[in-house]
Amino acid sequence: MSLSDLTTLTAAYGFTERNDPLQLFADWLADAEKSEPNDPNGMALATVDEEGLPNVRMVLLKDADERGFVFYTNCESQKGQEILGTMKAALCFHWKSLRRQVRVRGIVEQVTAAEADAYFASRARDSRIGAWASQQSRPLEGRFALEASVALHAAKFALGEVPRPPHWSGFRIKPLAIEFWHDRPFRLHDRVVFRRPDPDSGWTKTRLYP
């Protein structure tokens, strides 16, 4: 076994000794960016509706730091309305190439207008027009209606700037629990969960049976 192989194994199986879950997540995401063929920042987002029934869908992580995990969406969409109704959410990252999973649960806050404006401005022009054209999650009578709405808004903004729609913003999940899972032989996997009572408190760490 080479020194690099040993270093990789140590990083993979020594994570249970780490005490900073957000830095550990950043390291795992960096590993995924090197090995995952598509969307290493893809994550399952779970919410609940007004009847308490769960919903889950894939979204893309756009930022992660000590404050939490950020994604952007139409706030009038189903997921937007469900988050605004509870201000709670859960996430799951699964990196098959690395045999790793991270689960996150927490409370939610909206990002600032400045943060939303900056990210929206970084998107491709067609994506910005699409944010205006799509009435996300609402019934669509046919593909032509969507294409007509795109054409209408493309003409409206012509060659000018495409501003951020008032109904489009970002959410930050402020974690109260982060669980790390790593595949091990014979299904004797490594699991470690970090918990805290609120976003301003320190973390406690517990190792779990697989």
CA angle 194, 83, 93 (to 5 degrees): 45
pLDDT at 18: 86
In a domain? residue 1: no
Give tens-digit pLDDT for 95-112: 999 999 999 999 999 999
In a domain? residue 89: yes
> Taking 80 as the threshold, does the pLDDT of residue 16 lie above it?
no
Contacts of 205 (CB under 8 A, 6+ apart): 19, 192, 193, 194
Q: Residue written as tokens 């970090």? A: 194
Q: What's the rounded mean pLDDT across residues 109-126?
A: 97
Residue 114: strand, helix, or coil: helix
Q: State which residues form the domain around 122.
A: 13-208
User: What are 159's two structure tokens?
Assistant: 């060659």
In a domain? residue 2: no
Helix 125-133 and helix 143-157: axis angle, to 10°? 120
187 tagged catalytic = yes
In a domain? residue 4: no
Where is pLDDT greater, at 43 or 185?
43
pLDDT at 122: 96
Say what percent of the chain tops pLDDT 90. Answer: 77
Residue in 103, 187, 195, 196 annotated catalytic = 187
pLDDT at 4: 44
**What is d(CA 35, CA 81) in angstroms, rounded to the nearest whole number?**
34
Rounded to two decimals, what is the model's pTM? 0.89
In a domain? residue 3: no
State the total domains in the chain. Answer: 1
* Confidence band of 12 (pLDDT split at 50, 70, 90): low
In a domain? residue 75: yes
Give tens-digit pLDDT for 71-99: 999 999 999 999 999 999 999 999 999 99
Residue 108's domain is classified under what CATH number? 2.30.110.10
In a domain? residue 5: no
In a domain? residue 47: yes
